[in-house]
Structure 1
Amino acid sequence: MSEQEIFGKGTWIDKLAHELLEREKTLGRSLELLRVESGLGASGVPHIGSLGDAVRAYGVKLALENYGFKSELIAYSDDLDGLRKIPEGFPDDLEKHIAKPVSLIPDPYGCHESYGMHMSSILLDGLDKMGIKYEFRRAKDTYKNGLLKDQIHTILQNSAKIGDKISELVGQEKYQKFLPYFPVCSNCDRLYTAEAFEYLENEKKVRYKCHDTEISSKMIKGCGHDGEADITKDLGKLAWKVEFAARWAAFDIRFEAYGKDIMDSVKVNDWVSDEILNFPPPHHVKYEMFLDKGGKKISKSLGNVVTGQKWMEFGSPKSILLLLYKRITGARELGFEDIPSLMNEYNELEDIFFGKIKVDNEAKLIKSKGLYEYVNLLNPPKQPSIHVNYRLLVELAKMFKENRTERVMKKLLDYGVIKNPDPQIEKLIELAGNFADEFDQQEKVQVDMDESAKKVLKLLVDALNAEDEPEDIQNTIYQIAKSNGVEPKDFFRILYQIILGTSRGPKIGPLITDIGRKKVAKTVSEYI
């Protein structure tokens, strides 16, 4: 397929949906309803990456609908998963519940029916705030109501064959000895300690023994109980190596993305789905994990979590959607310091969409407009919002603690950035104010400049740091640039990029005076 070929609205989302449709037509399956799925982990605090799985699946749903097909997103909470470790910041008292399904663990904060629902609710709240529509399903109900019983039966009938294939595909030999099914021990409520070793086909029961097992490099004591569990009604769950396949077949799933960290599980599940359950696995796309600014994977248990709720204290829901819809491939370092540039980038996309910024490249224009539409969940506004540079708002918010909204609004009016006060701007000031209060400095932006520009920057820093304040900073900047062979308009642009992360802004002299000349000098000196 040609890279230059444009599908739908020109984004990777449209291309994925097109590939999915072509595959489904080749398979000859019904196109009446195309279900996409996202798995929601319920064992740790949901972060931006957890949200991303569901948001991207929803994008594919929207693209399928845009192509004229009915689609829906299943948001599946794996709340029968066992607790492997206590997330950072949670009570140590949870230690006694290690290896129990998270839906059977009490909510340590007492606001939900279980620990699992507490975690799921955080993620669902994030999806709701972003306008994502989904059908919520829980593992606990799915297994309790026997929705996977036929798939479990078939998988356990073929457990020897599956165990050999798992060993061949990923080198894991565990399931050559045990069944790929974990009953919940009826004596101690633990999941991973109860290892099933025999399937009684006629009775649809597994025999198991609860014994010591290693979880996250820690030995967990089993209670020694010998038991039987009915796969149609007793609590238990399939191992990850086969469970996706069972869900895909039972729910008729046609698309599911997956993270790089579960590649092996997906490889095995695809084979199980195809060869054991006779259900062609869904169309996939693999995405890289988000990393923190230190290059570590963002993890629920490590405590370096960037949650959607925290993000929305500083940025709009659309800034998260933009982050997730921009692209899907490649690992990305992520932190709250990315919010200012994403807030400004959304404004730029909106200007392109409404024709305020001209884009000569047709493919780029289509893609930019398409991205803007997906960030607005294919329901773009009829007219653009009022734009104010987010970094400018942060700098102004730092100046005022008392009556911040009114005083920042007045500055915006004085600068001529806005014509009238507006509730939209009040909300932006609130977000930028939260950001200013939480973080000392903004992310350093990339600025292209030659040696002569750096020399002029050095002279400006000296002037701003001088004992006597220049009478007219605007004119001082102009004269320093002109006297040293740098075009003033180019130099002003460099300063705007350093201070505001954009190529233009309010009159620079008064802005520097308001921010504080020595503070600006310190910022500028970092670029020399």
Structure 2
Amino acid sequence: MTEDALTEAARVSKAWPFQEAQKLLKRFPDGKPGGAPVLFETGYGPSGLPHIGTFQEVLRTTLVRRAYEVLIGARPEDGKTRLVAFSDDMDGLRKVPDNVPDPALLSANLGKPLSRIPNPFGSTYESFAHHNNAQLRDFLDRFGFEYEFVSASDRYNSGAFDDALANVLSHYDAIMGVMLPTLREERRQTYSPVLPISPTSGVVLQVPIEVLDPASGMIRFTDENGEAVEQTIFGGQAKLQWKVDWAMRWVALGVDYEMCGKDLTDSVTQSGKIAKILGGRRPEGMIYELFLDEKGEKISKSKGNGLTIDEWLTYGTEESLGFYIFREPKSAKQLHIGVIPKAVDEYWQFRGNLPDQAVDKQLGNPVWHLLRANGGSVGAGDTPAVTFGLLLNLAGVLGAEAKPEHLEDYIRNYVNDPRIWETPGFHGMVIAAANYARDYIAPTLKKRAPAANEAAALRALDGELAKVPPGTSAEDIQTLVYEIGKREEFGFETLRDWFRALYETLLGSSQGPRMGSFIALYGIPESRKLIAEALAAT
């Protein structure tokens, strides 16, 4: 397909990354003035370590970035776009996180900018924020994101934001006019768009200020010790309140696109008004829904009811994480261990469909976007010969012996083709299945004794399996299983009842795989042993 044909198809695509990218075409019908690259931004608060929310925002923004490049007929290497990962490391530390060492050290430095708090991790980085910023960069590099890292403390301390700060002071009253109506009466008494840093304690102060001279950044405020202080806000001696800071950054950096979670809806509105006051323009963006836990409750870092990146990658695959995050960003979705197996198998289903799809279907396929985001070929890659769900059922039966090498031994017997190991990510999928089954499936399995009619059907199945020659296909075995379930003498009202009986008596679960595929993978002799064990329980 030519690039022109791809661009034309993308311009009418209903896939959400293209719909978001269309906003930028409307923003810049003739391209960004001066030929400057369109700037995408994501924000990160380094009061804690990077997490799945960080990943999803950078991934989704990257998907929009790549979609925009397709719409304008550009390639990533053309430099038509930039992505900035911005760290808000001038924020004052409000509370001590639960998942960091030396809480007493952090507690003694509450209120100070994150980049001026000693490093509690024992690493060589100069501060708490510098350590977390390094973790962020390692985190983003691990997933192959293309980005530029920008630190708030570097910008404030170096004076790079000084002109922008002077602009805020020049429009101080207008900004107060936006913010004060949104605040409770008590908060109005102490609110200031500018947060000076105490010259005595180094704490970010929440106090009213008086603007003395916008050009030099001079303000007057009362310090913690009750003394009146006059000092400039330039050179890292102050920072801005969140909504004002966000707007200032949009204008100072020239941000054109930034998405955020639903909890920041009001912030987008107020920051957009402030950006206009400052002579800029609110960026385009999408407001996405937040993830929920398995009970449907909002995920909270303090509650610990979320799912970490490491947990997902222990029990699932990187591709499946991207796939799950891609879909329906404006709908609330649960994020917990139980969603992983379906996401793994659905990723491969969509990837398997991709090469044969018409272009409009490809552009609506999540895998097309995920592969393009990582610079991969959208038409390449075989799908695994064994599903994740089937691996989980096999691992569940193996129980304590469900180690990756044992699963791979079964797969070699099932698939007589060494190319299966060339499928990208297949080894990782086997490891994840072994981990998932060990920790979340095996402990829950409980086989029941078959009823009389079920036992009779199992005996018939065993007899048929005894006649099956080696190398019989999974489809032929599946047909055999079907035929037994249909026989009136066994009294199953539906085939579903028969398969449920197989799952509950042989596997210890209320649901399971295609039995033909499972029996072919597990082996005829081993499957007959399962039947014998079930019959012995009657």
The two structures have a TM-score, normalised by structure 2, of 0.78
1:291 and 1:331 in contact (8 A); partners too:
yes
Query: 1:212-251: per-residue Cα shift (whole Å, max 9, x none)?
Result: xxxxxxxxxxx55543432221332110121111111111
Q: Which deviates further from its counterpart, 388-397 or 461-470?
A: 461-470
2:394 and 2:518 in contact (8 A); partners too:
no
2:262 and 2:290 in contact (8 A); partners too:
yes
What residue in structure 1 maps to residue 53 of structure 2?
A: 49
What residue in structure 2 maps to residue 395 of structure 1?
A: 393
User: Within 1, Cα distance between the matches of 2:239 and 2:27?
Assistant: 30
1:231 corresponds to 2:233: yes
Q: How far has the Cα of 1:464 moved from its partner? A: 10
User: Within 2, Cα distance between the matches of 1:438 and 1:171?
Assistant: 48
Q: How far has the Cα of 1:461 moved from its partner? A: 9.8
Pairs within 5 Å for 1:12-411: 12-25=16-29, 29-30=33-34, 32-67=36-71, 68-69=73-74, 70-91=80-101, 92-93=103-104, 94-111=106-123, 112-169=125-182, 174=187, 177-191=190-204, 193-201=205-213, 202-211=215-224, 224=226, 226-274=228-276, 276-355=277-356, 365-369=361-365, 371-377=367-373, 379-380=376-377, 383-387=380-384, 388-398=386-396, 399=398, 404-411=403-410
Query: 1:453-482: per-residue Cα shift (whole Å, max 9, x none)?
Result: xxxx99699549999996567767642343
> Which residue type is aligned with residue 197 of structure 1?
I
CA RMSD of aligned residues (A): 3.9
User: Within 1, Cα distance between the matches of 2:11 and 2:515?
Assistant: 32
Cα distance change, pair 225–417 in 1 and its aligned pair in 2 (3 A): farther
User: Within 2, Cα distance between the matches of 1:489 and 1:301?
Assistant: 43
The DSSP-based 3-state class of the residue aligned with 2:11 is coil
What residue in structure 2 maps to residue 432 of structure 1?
A: 433
The DSSP-based 3-state class of the residue aligned with 2:339 is helix
> Which residue type is aligned with residue 413 of structure 2?
D
Q: How far has the Cα of 1:485 moved from its partner? A: 6.6
The DSSP-based 3-state class of the residue aligned with 1:280 is coil
Whichever of the two has the greater Rg, that structure is 2
> Which residue type is aligned with residue 411 of structure 1?
Y
Query: 1:317-363: per-residue Cα shift (whole Å, max 9, x none)?
Result: 222211222221011110122221111111111111122xx79xx85
The DSSP-based 3-state class of the residue aligned with 2:485 is helix
What residue in structure 2 maps to residue 216 of structure 1?
A: none
Cα distance change, pair 170–443 in 1 and its aligned pair in 2 (3 A): farther
Q: How far has the Cα of 1:17 moved from its partner? A: 0.4
Query: 1:51-84: per-residue Cα shift (whole Å, max 9, x none)?
Result: 2112111111111222235101100011111222
Cα distance change, pair 479–440 in 1 and its aligned pair in 2 (3 A): closer
Question: Where does structure 2 lack aligned partners over 5 or more consecutive residues?
Answer: 1-8, 75-79, 466-476, 504-508
Q: How far has the Cα of 1:186 moved from its partner? A: 2.1
What residue in structure 2 maps to residue 218 of structure 1?
A: none
Cα distance change, pair 374–468 in 1 and its aligned pair in 2 (3 A): closer
Query: 1:431-458: per-residue Cα shift (whole Å, max 9, x none)?
Result: 22222333246999xxxxxxxxxxxx99
Query: 1:303-323: per-residue Cα shift (whole Å, max 9, x none)?
Result: 234222332223222222112
The DSSP-based 3-state class of the residue aligned with 1:36 is strand
User: Within 1, Cα distance between the matches of 2:93 and 2:456?
Assistant: 57
> Which residue type is aligned with residue 21 of structure 1?
L
Percent of counterpart pairs with the same letter?
A: 27
> Which residue type is aligned with residue 480 of structure 1?
G
Cα distance change, pair 490–462 in 1 and its aligned pair in 2 (3 A): closer
Q: How far has the Cα of 1:395 moved from its partner? A: 3.2
Say how many residue pairs are matched. 486
1:482 corresponds to 2:482: no
Q: Which deviates further from its counterpart, 90-99 or 473-482?
A: 473-482
The DSSP-based 3-state class of the residue aligned with 2:229 is strand
The DSSP-based 3-state class of the residue aligned with 1:429 is helix
User: Within 2, Cα distance between the matches of 1:140 and 1:127?
Assistant: 20
> Which residue type is aligned with residue 404 of structure 1?
K
> Which residue type is aligned with residue 222 of structure 2?
K
> Which residue type is aligned with residue 422 of structure 1?
W
Query: 1:97-151: per-residue Cα shift (whole Å, max 9, x none)?
Result: 2222211222221123322233333333332222211000011101112222222
1:373 and 1:379 in contact (8 A); partners too:
no
User: Within 2, Cα distance between the matches of 1:121 and 1:501?
Assistant: 43
The DSSP-based 3-state class of the residue aligned with 1:298 is coil
